[in-house]
Amino acid sequence: MSLNSYVTLGRSGLRVSPLCLGTMTFGEGWGIGSSPQEAEAILARYRELGGNFLDTSNAYNNGHSEKIIGDSIGRESAKRDRMVIGTKFANNLYPGDPNGGGNGTKAIIEQCEQSLRRLQTDYIDLYWIHHWDWNTPVEETMKALNNLVTSGKVRYIGVSDTPAWQVAQAHTMALLRDWTPFIGLQIEHSLLERTVEDELLPMAQALGIGVTPWSPLKSGLLSGKFTRTNAGQVSGSRGEVMGMVSLLDEKAFTILDRLAELAETHQTTSAAIALAWVISRPGVTSTIIGARTLDQLTANVAALDIRLSAEELASLDQLSTPPAMFTTMQQRVTSSFQHGGISVNGVTPYEYPMTPKSDKDRY
């Protein structure tokens, strides 16, 4: 597989690369990013390898990420029209302004205009709700987004970091009212974050929404930089700056140990193995990778060449499976009651002590 092995995102005709270039680290304002010159070199190399899918946000480095993309790509139509640029809204860049952020109509339109200006383009390919606004009616948000699509300023819409029931409500409302539905879902997903598998991933598959996982390396914790002996000593890394190192408990270190073993077996890096696992997950369309340097980009793209065996994938699954949430546990119990002890669609339920064992047990 390569970056130009394009896939359609969700139930749409939008063709995107299997790895999306995340640009949260473009700009140095947050202390964890690349200079404009480094970022432009990363963009150029990603495009050279066939990549066409960018992810940014109005909030990333306070808008500097969007400006770097605009300076490098947006101002040149020959480059811009070949790229799928996705950006996100909802973030308030104007302290004291109650309508500077959020998902209300006034905020959405103004944020869109600001992003278009920074990106130096007259349209956004994929406009993402960055996070849900509990103070705005769902119908107002979806109608405003539909109006942006109708106006030509936005081509498609997606949603990020929102409960499954809210995504399903908004998506279904859009379909019933002939408004623009979601084609993409951004959620955190990695070997250290799998709770999204209970409801968000199955929801996206059922509704035909393409999943683009973010932080597949858990802010660098799965990159191979951290080991049992140096945890807490890797200065300047995103995981250290954001206080994520505290998540490295015994379970996490066991996963890191296994990643290192598999990296040696496949003659690659722990980061590439961790990414290959995410890429293999059901429902995942295009995984968002971040890179502060060209070397990091090269290491991440190498994940597309890795084919983990069923046994290798199963070993990572077993080490990283989190405790099941209520709905998943209830599904297992329900299967035991419903299946009558037989296998259905490859699922053989465990034996529940209250189910009848024979016809003699039934009244």
- In this structure, which long-range contacts are made by residues 187-190, counting pairs with CB atoms below 8 Å and at least 24 apart in sequence? 187/160, 187/161, 187/211, 187/213, 187/214, 188/161, 188/213, 188/214, 188/215, 189/213, 189/214, 189/215, 189/216, 189/278, 189/281, 189/284, 190/215, 190/216, 190/217, 190/218, 190/222, 190/274, 190/278
List, edge to edge, every strand of the sheet that includes 84-89. 210-211, 182-186, 154-160, 124-129, 84-89, 53-55, 19-22, 287-290
Instruction: Name the residue type at position 302.
Output: A
* Residue 60 is a catalytic residue: yes
For residue 258, the tally of other CB atoms under 10 A from its CB is 19
CA nearest 313: which of 324, 305, 321? 321
CB of 23 within 8 A of CB of 56? yes
For residue 141, the tally of other CB atoms under 10 A from its CB is 24
User: What distance lies between CA 259 and its chain's CA centroid?
Assistant: 21
Judge residue 360's burial from the number of C-beta atoms within 10 Å of its C-beta, 0-12 exposed, 13-18 middle, 19 or more buried.
Answer: exposed
Q: Catalytic pick from 6, 46, 60, 156?
A: 60
| Residue 265 half-sphere exposure toward CB, CA atoms < 13 A | 12
Place of tokens 């995102």: 9
Measured CA distances, 192 to 63, 66, 247 (Å) = 29, 29, 9
CB of 74 within 8 A of CB of 123? no
CB of 129 within 8 A of CB of 168? no
* Catalytic residue list: 60
